[in-house]
Structure 1
Amino acid sequence: MFVDSHCHLDRLKLSHHDGDLNRPLEQARVAGVEAMLCVGIQLEHYEDVLRIARNNDDIYASVGVHPSENEGEEPSVERLVELADDPKIVAIGETGLDYYYGNDTQAQQQSRFAAHLKASSITKKPTIIHTRDAREDTLAIMREHADTAVGGVMHCFTETWEMAEQAMELNFLISFSGIVTFKNAEALREVAEKTPLENMLIETDSPYLAPVPYRGKSNEPAYVVEIAKKIAELKGVSVETVAKVTSENFYRLFKIPKRVSN
């Protein structure tokens, strides 16, 4: 029923699962999570991310380099296209701009972001975008390089309604994480209220940003249900409706045949 559209399964905290990744995956399935997208943030860990997807029919993967990753292989357009040539890789990213820690790497981030968007256009695989304290530059680069026929998603969205509107005009969905459940996130909840369900995804970004009532704990895909509950509350619809529409959005965006439950 539910889809966790953005998680980092290769980074889950497994100490309370006896080191066994299958345990949180099974807990997610029991909770009703029928698909997960394991998102890459470093090319050095590409094989780890892809292996998880290949070993599980309900898990997909992406290839990309997070804007805050300053070491390791730099992602050229050609390299991203090469690595994306696998049926389990359904997206390019996570990419984008993150100026939170200063401006020392802004030029590098901008060049890298453009490369991901160009690879997305070539492969016809959507882009997963991270943006933090870089609203104007993010939109400017999207306008210049994003392929609106391919689109993508603004992951873990925490920006303004005006930015959400402009991203949706470029054929990007808006994805809400556990932050929408936080006590101090009233402004974000207002954005979620305004965002049409047809333009929305939900995600955990696990192992980070666990939603209420799990805040302070390591996040897991099963907790995406709590995000769906909050969105349903904000919109005055059923949790089942949120699950159905956001799941359909996920399959449509990433061109994945919808899974048939047993």
Structure 2
Amino acid sequence: MLIDSHCHLDFEALASDIDGVMARAAAAGVTGMVTISTHVEKFSTYTALAERFANVWCSVGTHPHHADEELHIQTDDLVRLSAHPRCVAIGEAGLDYFYDNAPREAQATGLRRHIAAARITSLPLVIHSRKCDDDMAAILREEAGQGAFPFLLHCFTAGPDLARTALDLGGYISFSGIITFKNAEEIREVAKFVPADRYLVETDAPYLAPIPHRGESNEPSFVRHTAEKVAEVRGISLEQLGSETSANFARLFSKTGL
């Protein structure tokens, strides 16, 4: 049993064949997935998907690429919308210094508002973090000092220092198809030391398809390839990985009721 903890079912590559996507996921042993919000103003799109499929849940949040577009979204708005019964997480929010599609100040402001919402609701914050290790670690430490909040570093691409900071603060780490790439040795090293009760797997579909599907449009069924690589790196069976990651998902995304 595998769960895709992060995908974007509303994106055209998946939405245009949603029934096929769901059928292939089921055939691959993927029993659940979270379709992740990138724009709060599209929240109804995410809830519609989660209402249509019993094994799909959603989140509410603003991707850092769009932080400056939704600065009018306040913590109270996130809290209010997250009360929807199919909404099980806050985010994705965070920092992306690789693309810098939004001003860094706007990204940080949005991240802190999402952290506050996670703290209030006790829903996990799904964090996007790219090429910003020092600033992300500083914000996480500072905000944790103001009160604990559950969080997940999704699609982990950072170094071991940020991983250890997140783990020290009680966070979880999710691995995507990137872990199958030839040049991802540092990520594989992180996957070796993350505790058995703190890791998840994901696709980030339709992006980042794992080997042997690299270059194709990603989809939830492909999470199996990521899971196989993580299991290999950790020296465990795929069955054990499925059991551990499913238990971790149920604990972190407790609103799913799994």
TM-score w.r.t. the length of structure 2 is: 0.94
Q: Does the residue aligned with 1:9 lie in a helix, a strand or coil? A: coil
- Deviation string, structure 1 residues 61-110 (Cα, Å, up to 9, x no partner): 00000011156432211111111111111100000111113497111111
Structure 1 unaligned spans of 5+: none
Which is worse superposed, 150-159 or 138-147?
Answer: 138-147
Q: Indicate the residue corresponding to 1:159 in structure 2.
A: 158
2:90 is aligned with 1:92? yes
Matches within 5 A, 1:76-91: 76-91=74-89
Q: Indicate the residue corresponding to 1:114 in structure 2.
A: 112
Identity, in percent, stands at: 43
Call closer, same or farther: CA 1:148–1:22 in 2, change over 3 Å.
farther
Q: Indicate the residue corresponding to 2:142 in structure 1.
A: 144
Q: Indicate the residue corresponding to 1:196 in structure 2.
A: 195
Matches within 5 A, 1:1-262: 1-14=1-14, 19-70=16-67, 72-74=69-71, 75-102=73-100, 105-146=103-144, 149-255=148-254, 256-258=256-258
Q: Does the residue aligned with 1:204 lie in a helix, a strand or coil? A: coil
CA RMSD of aligned residues (A): 1.7
Q: Does the residue aligned with 1:129 lie in a helix, a strand or coil? A: strand
Call closer, same or farther: CA 1:94–1:14 in 2, change over 3 Å.
closer
Task: Answer yes or no: is the 8 Å Cα contact 1:67–1:97 preserved in 2.
Answer: yes
Matched to 1:176, the amino acid is: F
Matched to 1:212, the amino acid is: I
- Deviation string, structure 1 residues 103-136 (Cα, Å, up to 9, x no partner): 9711111111000000111111110001111111
Call closer, same or farther: CA 1:194–1:148 in 2, change over 3 Å.
farther
- Deviation string, structure 1 residues 172-224 (Cα, Å, up to 9, x no partner): 10100000000111111111112122210000000000000000000000000
Task: Answer yes or no: is the 8 Å Cα contact 2:8–2:205 preserved in 1.
Answer: yes
Q: Does the residue aligned with 1:156 lie in a helix, a strand or coil? A: coil
Call closer, same or farther: CA 1:14–1:134 in 2, change over 3 Å.
closer
Call closer, same or farther: CA 1:104–1:223 in 2, change over 3 Å.
closer
Task: Answer yes or no: is the 8 Å Cα contact 2:67–2:106 preserved in 1.
Answer: no
Distance 1:45 1:73 in 2: 11
Distance 1:12 1:243 in 2: 29
Distance 1:104 1:12 in 2: 23
Distance 2:137 2:86 in 1: 28
TM-score w.r.t. the length of structure 1 is: 0.93
Distance 1:20 1:233 in 2: 31
Structure 2 unaligned spans of 5+: none
TM-superposed CA distance for 1:24, in Å, is 0.5
Distance 1:82 1:113 in 2: 17
Which is worse superposed, 226-235 or 69-78?
Answer: 69-78
Distance 1:115 1:92 in 2: 10
Matched to 2:142, the amino acid is: E
Q: Does the residue aligned with 1:198 lie in a helix, a strand or coil? A: coil
Call closer, same or farther: CA 1:39–1:103 in 2, change over 3 Å.
closer
Q: Does the residue aligned with 1:153 lie in a helix, a strand or coil? A: strand
